[in-house]
Amino acid sequence: MNLQIHVREPFSFSQTLTFLRRFLPCQEDFVLTADSLTAAVTVAGRAVTFTIREADGLWLACEDALDAPALLARASELIGARDDLASFYATAANDPPMHGLVAELHGLHHVRFLTLEEICVYAVIMQRTPITIASRLKRRFMDRFGLPIEIAGRTLRALPSSDVLGRLDGKAIGEAIGHARKGEVIAEVLRGVAAIGEATLREAPYAEARDALLAIRGIGPFSAAAILLRGLGRMDELPELRGFADTARTLYGGSYDDAAIRARYGRDIGHWAFYLKTGVAQRSDATRGDRLSRSPDLSMLRKCPSRSVKPTSRTSTAFAPPRSRAPRRSSRSIRPT
């Protein structure tokens, strides 16, 4: 069955796919092609897949018509189909450094984690953990507790609902991911979020939703904001901007002032943060790739006995295809990309 996904312009599905290819924590959660993405979720306890494809519009494909309404809603949320970028773009037009990023990322809507459960798990895992390790721990959780479904020669994992995951034992989670303390906290967070309910977190006033999350052991201000921002697309508030300061100084230089940025962007601060992290990271990767392309070819040196060079592990890494990386993050930072 095919249903059209209505998006609020400007919207670029190509930018969405580029983001998902680069975002390490979710790279194995999708099957991506040049014009489509396929993901797996649970509907009524069953693992099902859906595909979003761009072909004279944006379309959702799924097998069962009964699943279509739930999958259409989930797909639209994933890609931020109804995000309104007009106010953010208008403000950024008078902010030259951000305006440059907007030009490069034009049409990128805020890409969420696929489910609330997934971002809740990752919000705990990412605390005081580098993104490469956090992504690995999340993958272990998905492999152990996600429901498998085959698609295009790949096995995707669909996480059960928070009601189901909330019954997991913290020890079992810890053994699965290889981190006992985080396993116990994940179990508490999943139970707490299940008790609150996704509808409340989506629809309640921001402060009420945030405070409900903060009442759960293991969720601090930045984890709560990560769940609301990266999971539910609530762009209207961030607790503070210190977690973005280093990245912001890369863009703005010494003129960066977090209070001024908050005052300028107001309820669009989530869009600002998402574009900041995404754009600066892409520029960094592009610069690294350009630098590598201009590096000398060392192969001739290895052919000459008098000037032979034994490649070190660092040399090997430098000449490997560039990949996205992110700085070490503490529990006081949120990665919006």
pLDDT tens for each residue of 245-301: 999 999 999 999 989 999 999 999 999 999 999 999 999 988 876 655 555 544 333
Residue 330 CB neighbours (<10 A): 11
What is the pTM for the complete model shown? 0.83
pLDDT for 17 equals 98
Q: Is the pLDDT of residue 205 over 60?
A: yes
Q: How far is CA 118 from CA 23, 153, 230, 291, 324, in A?
A: 14, 23, 10, 36, 21
Q: What gap in Å lies between CA 193 and CA 187, rounded to an integer?
A: 10
- Report the alpha-carbon distance of residue 137 to residue 281 in Å, rounded: 22
What are the tens digits of pLDDT across the range 43-102? 999 999 999 999 999 999 999 999 999 999 999 999 999 999 999 999 999 999 999 999
More confident site: 99 or 331: 99
Q: How many CB atoms lie within 10 A of CB 70?
A: 16
More confident residue, 150 or 305: 150
Dump the DSSP string for 209-229: HHHHHHTSTT--HHHHHHIII
Please give the pLDDT value at position 42.
97
Strands 147-151 and 58-61: unpaired
Q: Which pLDDT band holds residue 128 (cuts at 50, 70, 90)?
A: very high
Residue 1 binned pLDDT confidence (cut-offs 50, 70, 90): very high
Question: Looking at residue 331, what is its pLDDT?
Answer: 40
The rounded distance, in Å, linking the Cα atoms of 126 and 147 is 23
